Chains A and B, each alone.
Chain A
Amino acid sequence: MTPQRQGVAVRLEGLSRHYGAVRALDGLDLELAPGEMVALLGPSGCGKTTALRLLAGLEDADAGRDVVDGRDLTDVPVSKRDMGMVFQAYSLFPHMTARQNVAFGLRLRGRSSAEQRSRAGEMLELVGLSSQADRYAHQMSGGQQQRVALARALAIEPQVLLLDEPLSALDAKVRVQLRDEIRRIQLDVGATTLLVTHDQEEALAVADRVGVMRGGRLEQIAAPGEIYTSPATAFVAEFVGLTNRMDGVAADGVAQVMRARIPLLPGSVASGPVSVLVRPESVEVHTQRDGEAEVVAASFLGSLGRVRVRTADGAVLLAQVPTGGAGVLQVGDRVSLALRPVPALAVSRD
Chain B
Amino acid sequence: MPLTSRVRGGALLGVAPFLAFTTIFLAVPTLVVVVGAFVDTGGRPTLANVAGLRQGYILDALLSTLELSLTTAVIGAVVGALLAYAVVTAAPDGMLRRSVSAVCGVLAQFGGVTLAFAFLATVGSQGFVTLYLFDHTGLAVPGDLLYGLRGLGLVYVYFQIPLMVIVFLPALDGVRVQWREATESLGGSTWQYWRHVAGPLLMPASLGSTLLLFANAFAAYATAAALVSQGSPILPLVVRATFTSEVVLGQANLGKAIALAMVVVVAVVMTGYAWLQRRTSRWVG
Binding site for B on A (CB under 8 A): 56-58, 77-85, 87-88, 90-91, 93-95, 104-105, 107-109, 138, 149, 152-153, 156, 162
Chain B window 76-108, contacts with chain A (Cβ cutoff 8 Å), 1 for yes, 0 for no: 000000000000000000000000000000000
Question: Nearest-CB distance from A126 to chain B (Å)?
Answer: 17
B178 to A104, Cβ gap below 8 A?
Answer: no
B187 to A156, Cβ gap below 8 A?
Answer: yes
Interface positions, chain B 138-190, Cβ under 8 Å from A, are 176, 178-179, 181-189
Alpha-carbon distance A24/B184, docked complex (angstroms): 23
Among A57, A80, A87, A156, residue most surrounded by chain B Cβ atoms (within 10 Å):
A87
A156 to B176, Cβ gap below 8 A?
Answer: no
5 A-B contact pairs sorted by A residue (CB < 8 Å): A84-B185, A85-B182, A109-B187, A156-B186, A162-B185
- From known contacts A56-B185, A156-B186, infer whether A87 and B196 are also in contact, taking CB-CB under 8 Å: no
Question: Nearest-CB distance from B88 to chain A (Å)?
Answer: 17
In the complex formed, the residue of B with least CB distance to A84 is B185
A78 to B196, Cβ gap below 8 A?
Answer: no
- Return chain A residues, CB-CB under 8 Å to B128: none
Alpha-carbon distance A75/B178, docked complex (angstroms): 21
B283 to A87, Cβ gap below 8 A?
Answer: no
In the complex formed, the residue of A with least CB distance to B192 is A108
A87 to B201, Cβ gap below 8 A?
Answer: no
A91 to B182, Cβ gap below 8 A?
Answer: yes
Count residues on chain B whose CB falls below 8 Å from chain A CBs. Answer: 20
Alpha-carbon distance A90/B188, docked complex (angstroms): 18
Alpha-carbon distance A77/B282, docked complex (angstroms): 32
Q: Residue A93 contacts which of B179, B185, B189, B192 (CB distance < 8 angstroms)?
A: B179
- Return chain A residues, CB-CB under 8 Å to B188: 79, 108
- Return chain B residues, CB-CB under 8 Å to A58: 181, 184-185
Question: Nearest-CB distance from B285 to chain A (Å)?
Answer: 10
Binding site for A on B (CB under 8 A): 176, 178-179, 181-189, 192, 196-197, 200-201, 282-284
Q: Residue A91 contacts which of B178, B189, B283 (CB distance < 8 angstroms)?
A: B178
- Return chain A residues, CB-CB under 8 Å to B189: 79
Question: Nearest-CB distance from A216 to chain B (Å)?
Answer: 22
- Return chain B residues, CB-CB under 8 Å to A81: 185
Question: Nearest-CB distance from B192 to chain A (Å)?
Answer: 6
Alpha-carbon distance A205/B196, docked complex (angstroms): 38
- Return chain A residues, CB-CB under 8 Å to B197: 93
- From known contacts A108-B186, A156-B186, infer whether A91 and B201 are also in contact, taking CB-CB under 8 Å: no
- From known contacts A105-B187, A156-B186, infer whether A94 and B178 are also in contact, taking CB-CB under 8 Å: no
Question: Nearest-CB distance from B30 to chain A (Å)?
Answer: 36
- Return chain A residues, CB-CB under 8 Å to B183: 104, 108
What would 20 more interface pairs be, CB under 8 Å, given A78-B181, A79-B186, A82-B187? A56-B185, A57-B184, A77-B184, A78-B185, A79-B187, A79-B188, A85-B181, A87-B181, A93-B182, A93-B197, A94-B283, A104-B183, A104-B196, A108-B186, A108-B187, A108-B188, A108-B192, A108-B196, A138-B283, A149-B182
- Return chain B residues, CB-CB under 8 Å to A95: 200-201, 283
B184 to A90, Cβ gap below 8 A?
Answer: no
Question: Nearest-CB distance from A115 to chain B (Å)?
Answer: 15
Q: Nearest 3 CB-CB pairs, A to B? A: A105-B186, A91-B178, A94-B283
In the complex formed, the residue of B with least CB distance to A137 is B283
Alpha-carbon distance A78/B189, docked complex (angstroms): 9
- Return chain B residues, CB-CB under 8 Å to A93: 179, 182, 197, 201
- Return chain A residues, CB-CB under 8 Å to B192: 108
B176 to A91, Cβ gap below 8 A?
Answer: yes
- Return chain B residues, CB-CB under 8 Å to A88: 178
Among B179, B184, B186, residue most surrounded by chain A Cβ atoms (within 10 Å):
B186
